[in-house]
Structure 1
Amino acid sequence: MSKHLIAADHLKRALDGRQPKIGIILGSGLGDLADQIEDPVYLPYDQIENFPMSTVAGHSGRFVIGSLGGQQVICMQGRLHSYEGFDYSDLALPIRAMRAVGVEMLFISNAAGSMTTEMPQGSLMVISDHVNWSGFNPLIGANDDNVGPRFVDMGNAYDRDLRAQLHEVAGGMGVVLHEGVYFWYTGPNFETPAEIRAFRMLGADAVGMSTVPECIAAVHCGMKVVAVSAITNLAAGMDVTQTLSHEHTLAQSATISDRFCRLVTAFVAAQG
């Protein structure tokens, strides 16, 4: 049996008859949203056979199942990153498992660096598109036609209708929501100033070390995707007084967390 189907069996047992249509992936420092899920059921990754374990500070490493904004959700409180040494196919595993138990829409979040001064530290950005020049892709290898097609269209990877809904919700709450292109940088080192200058010329607005493989995997298996970046810093070279670190990322994410949680909860509620 495929690893994602084994994981799906564990999820089904934890769901105990619930049928969530919404999946959520929480980025660095944004795990507080999972603590707001009502009637939670927890499924730690280490209780799932052959499931990779998140090793990064700020990522709890568990599924949280319950109600958010009146809707049933499956939330990943802690994600997997390529720089942790996982096979790229493993990055698709939790997404495919969620799809196998009926999830239709995936909300992805991350902490990111801004490459434009018009979107400073503390901003929220809905992702309109991404750039993947990493040379890696979670779909490389044998294709499982039961999961998705060999070749998949990415022209509307970050669903335009869901983005419009998110802007409408943000506007109604008085939350400023930027929109831009996300550049996937595998890490774990932060980018160099020269790399940031190159990424900006390629049309990117924010940079981070996640999200893109998850989006690709979700679109491949038929999910609609919406994604938000919490801007924790200006990218390398844009503020010479600032030294980038994961500790800084977590600290700045914490200052954005309340606004992020309110926005996501209201958006999820609007899906009813």
Structure 2
Amino acid sequence: MRVLVSDCLRGVACRFDGSSKPSRSVKRLCEKVEVVGVCPEIAAGLSVPRPPAEQVGDRVRLIDGSDVTEDFRRGAELSLDRARSRGALKKGAPLAVLKGRSPSCGVGLVYDGSHSGRLIKGDGVFVRLLKKEGVCVVSEDVVKACEPSVEHPVALVLGSGLGHLAKLVRPVRRIDYHDIDGFPADATPVRDHRFELTIGTIDEVPVAVYPGRIHLYQGYSAAEVTSLVRHARHLGCRDIVFACATGAVTGNAHVGLGILTDQINLTGRNPLIEWDGIRDVETPFVGMVDAYTPYLRTLARGVADDLGIAVDEGVYAGVLGPCFETPAEIGMMRALGVSYVGMSTVNEVIMAHALGMNVLGLTLATNESGDPDTSHESVLEVAGRYASDFERLVRGVLHLL
């Protein structure tokens, strides 16, 4: 996987004051990917050191008021050409990790032009070009926030036919689900689900693996269904991977592995209705843009491409269940742009996003929606065929994190 990375984050002294801003998290990522280093300001021929510049509207000005917008645009275009020539924009979903806040590489926030340290919403000149090319652009803060540690393990919630991943864990501790606050005491697992959390490591990456879940169609509330997510957050997990079995909507997706990009909640339930009793959620009015973290989605896409694993991407529709969809419902979902249909995940993602967690959604589409021969047994059978690829995909993502 090729990744564009700001040179200053790798330790190159190219900032306006002649310094660098190395990030240990970014440098660790760089050890695992093919790096294309960039610095738009050096590409433009600007000197090191040089007067500081900040963004004022759509212009870039030095501290003395001089307009250097064209220099910054030229550097951005030259850096984009370098990325193309190195193949960083050709394969899969390209990724760029840039030094935040600058008029070139600021992602989401840039200095406001007053040279006082104040920030405003916006993207730098180079970032705007990259986004037009479909590149996922993140700051070093995102890489650091997603990096696992013993204090912040990666949570994995596994659905039907996917729980075998728990066997990869080198265990440190096990917790019965019934000892988890909010998990119903009378809950019993459906076939192939286990109700025992395993905390430990997979390939030396700290993880907390939940090899089963409960569902709304079993009569549980949205708050109970999302109790595992709240538990993971209280354990310190900042990243959470939801894996689920789904049906593929013909014409929009195929049977096999998929990466979830967005969701439509058709369950009629929402865990934030009961938000008064949820710690760490200040308000139920949570924005759901990028509920599935773009950075994690891009890493998963890159891992799949590098390993030669066939993976689709698409929107997930969560339904109440337990019956499968009618032909009319499938036609509706196809028209809505839905790729995958399942009976879990959407409420869990709402809760994780409300708690500020980084979310990756992976699915195994075990059948085409509407297939009259679909059963729980057939779901498990197909899941077994894709077990190896699913395992390689998850381990690859954990390795990059």
TM-score normalised over the length of structure 2: 0.60
Q: Which residue of 1 aligns with 2:266?
A: 133
What do the CA deviations read for 1:111-147 (whole angstroms, capped 9, x no partner)?
00000346332x1110000011322111113435742
How far residue 198 of structure 1 moved from its aligned partner, in angstroms, is 0.9
The answer as to 2:318 corresponding to 1:184 is yes
CA change 1:131–1:173 in 2 (3 A) is same
Aligned equivalents of 1:209, 1:146: Cα separation in 2: 26
The answer as to 2:384 corresponding to 1:254 is yes
How far residue 49 of structure 1 moved from its aligned partner, in angstroms, is 6.0
1:265 maps to a residue whose letter is R
What do the CA deviations read for 1:154-212 (whole angstroms, capped 9, x no partner)?
10100111111111111111112111000101101111111111111111011000010
1:244 maps to a residue whose letter is T
CA change 1:54–1:74 in 2 (3 A) is farther
Aligned pair partner of 2:366 in 208, 212, 232: 232
Aligned equivalents of 1:40, 1:247: Cα separation in 2: 32
Matched-pair contact (CA < 8 Å) for 1:139–1:217: yes
The answer as to 2:348 corresponding to 1:218 is no
Aligned pair partner of 1:64 in 198, 202, 211: 198
Aligned equivalents of 1:25, 1:102: Cα separation in 2: 15
Q: Which residue of 2 aligns with 1:37?
A: 169
2:169 maps to a residue whose letter is I
How far residue 48 of structure 1 moved from its aligned partner, in angstroms, is 4.1
Q: Which residue of 1 aligns with 2:159?
A: 27
Higher relative contact order (CA 8 A, sep 6+): 1
Q: Which residue of 2 aligns with 1:147?
A: 280
Which residues of 2 match residues 54-203 of structure 1 at below 5 A? 54-117=188-251, 119-121=253-255, 123-144=256-277, 146-150=279-283, 151-203=285-337
Aligned length: 250
TM-score normalised over the length of structure 1: 0.87
Q: Secondary structure at the match of 1:147?
A: coil
- Structure 1 vs Structure 2: percent identity of aligned residues? 34
Structure 2 gap segments, 5+ residues each: 1-148
Moved over 2 A (4+): 17-21, 39-42, 46-55, 116-121, 141-146
How far residue 40 of structure 1 moved from its aligned partner, in angstroms, is 4.8
Q: Pairwise CA RMSD of aligned residues? A: 1.8
1:57 maps to a residue whose letter is R
1:252 maps to a residue whose letter is V
Aligned equivalents of 1:127, 1:142: Cα separation in 2: 26
CA change 1:142–1:99 in 2 (3 A) is closer
Matched-pair contact (CA < 8 Å) for 2:252–2:339: no
Q: Secondary structure at the match of 2:236?
A: coil
CA change 1:211–1:49 in 2 (3 A) is closer
How far residue 47 of structure 1 moved from its aligned partner, in angstroms, is 4.1
CA change 1:38–1:145 in 2 (3 A) is closer
How far residue 18 of structure 1 moved from its aligned partner, in angstroms, is 4.5
2:160 maps to a residue whose letter is S
Aligned equivalents of 2:251, 2:368: Cα separation in 1: 8
Larger Rg: 2
Q: Which residue of 1 aligns with 2:395?
A: 265
Q: Secondary structure at the match of 1:243?
A: coil
How far residue 69 of structure 1 moved from its aligned partner, in angstroms, is 2.7
1:140 maps to a residue whose letter is I
Q: Secondary structure at the match of 2:383?
A: helix
How far residue 25 of structure 1 moved from its aligned partner, in angstroms, is 0.5
